[in-house]
Structure 1
């Protein structure tokens, strides 16, 4: 069964989740060159504005129109500053399931933005899109990502041994690949019951 996500904007008390725009290229490029992003994601490094323009102008829109997922900029409501991105991918429309991942800029960490954005997005998925499962996968040593999964109510389902390649700096201050385990988390509609309203969408 084929489906696709709508062109959506989601608003919370502090945030607006919207499609990425060309104007986001400089901030997005800077964010993806942060050491924590390099360490825990598979983005190219160094990440330049050509990478950002291709992702924002071509690859991310294609994910939505082809039904594979959706990429949303996470911006502050008051300042409109880009503070992160949220990505739904590996979407299965037959079983109404998708995987959620996110990146928060170093200048915006510690504010609860990842939790707020993830809650708003899962609320929209369950209530508006009638999804039945959201999955997160966090590297075993990425404590911050695990805390977000716990805060939004995810249940830990187990460990995929040696299932991810993280990156760490070696003695010469060069990035090197490091194999690591992944913790699988899931969120179902019944896990979300009792959670208050977090967002409006249009």
Structure 2
């Protein structure tokens, strides 16, 4: 649950009831995530999932990168707009939970287009020479600023990048935060705002999404 959901749950319910319906496979995955994981709030929410789906359908990416798979909800939303010969590479390091996204990826109509890797994202980004049309990052916050530095060379003009949880329960308003994750998220937002190669907007959706487009 996000800072904004806690502040106004009625508005959150209103937003959900006035958005497009959730596909059955995502409904099942969301239910199982809450049944079988200890931190189900880490799942991309219904509203955020709709945003990922719509953006993917608009840009019809050929090559997508996701950092932070968790149970695969966002992954399946991102596949919705994939080009016919497109693929999504999704990275995570949680071996114990890997069975759950694998199960739903295999059930999905996009099974052949999803490359699920149990690999450190920094390692992957330093080794790959791929260029991505769409990058979604919802992973360890302490590495957010480093992820931004590493993904930049892996984008091109028109590439879309989204970082999740960039308002961090409102903690980004703290002037001198003691929490390391808060410090890094503030650093990330500053880096993006000052980078002339991108145009961006922070959307106050759930816990905040920094939405970027490479010029």
Task: Say which structure is richer in helix.
Answer: 2
Tell me if TM exceeds 0.5. Answer: no
TM-score where L is the length of structure 1: 0.33
TM-score where L is the length of structure 2: 0.32
Higher RCO (CA < 8 A, seq sep 6+): 1
Task: Say which structure is richer in strand.
Answer: 1
